[in-house]
Amino acid sequence: MFTGIVQGIGQIEAVMPQSAVRAREQTRWGDGQGLRLIVAWGSLDGRDVAEGDSVALNGACMTVVRPDELGFGVDISRESLDKTVGLDQPGPVNLEKAMRLQDRLGGHLVSGHVDCTAEVLEIQSRGESILLRVRVPQAYSPYLTTKGSVALNGVSLTVNSLEDLPQARGSVISLNLIPHTFTATTLKDLRVGSRVNFEADQLAKQVARMVEALASRRALSAQPASGAST
């Protein structure tokens, strides 16, 4: 688990097919299953990160392999590549080490399991903050609420306003970024039309699931018993 408070900006230095990894290491992975990324620590202090630990890259939880003083590797599956953006080529990435139970929860509980990608519609300076408007696919609209939490590229953010679009075209959320959040993360590199890794609030998902299950049970109990006269 993570908190959505980015601890540093790293850099994907190299992206290798698994056939290249197999030439150096014993692995059963095939090229169709994923990639090996080589990531530089950048501004993240990785001295306490060991092989097998979890680190979030732009919000996606990855397992560290072969860490050293320069950086670390991760094996990213095809499932993760299909659900994310920005993890299949060299470039900057937000980094966060997995939280410990004694850590402060400065953002919100973030699983590191990216739900989908969302589209940036607008970026504007608004006085002391930056307005960011993002369109979220319809499947995740039920988990959005004003003043609720979302994670974009691994950054915990609060939804300031919410608009459900007609014809099941999703929802548009507006968020205010303070200067620190904007400059200390890769969000400063976004442009209109950019796509970001989106994760809905886990608590909202659980509540929505429970409400759905309760409604289904009520609907079943309201149905007449089989063979009952009408």
Q: Which of these, 75, 50, 72, 70, lies nearest to 60 by C-alpha position? A: 75
CA distance 62 to 103: 20
Please list the pLDDT of the chain residue by residue as tens digits (230 residues). 999 999 999 999 999 987 777 666 666 655 567 899 999 999 999 999 999 999 999 999 999 999 999 999 999 998 999 999 999 999 999 999 999 988 888 889 999 999 999 999 999 998 889 999 999 999 999 999 999 999 999 999 999 999 999 999 999 999 999 999 999 999 999 999 999 999 999 989 888 888 888 888 877 777 776 655 55
Tokens of 83: 């659900």
Q: pTM for the full model?
A: 0.88
Q: Which residues pair with 77 in a beta bridge?
A: 34
Q: SS3 letters for 42-107?
A: CCCCCCCCCCCCEEEECCEEEEEECCCCCEEEEEEEHHHHHHCCCCCCCEEEEEEECCCCCCCCCC
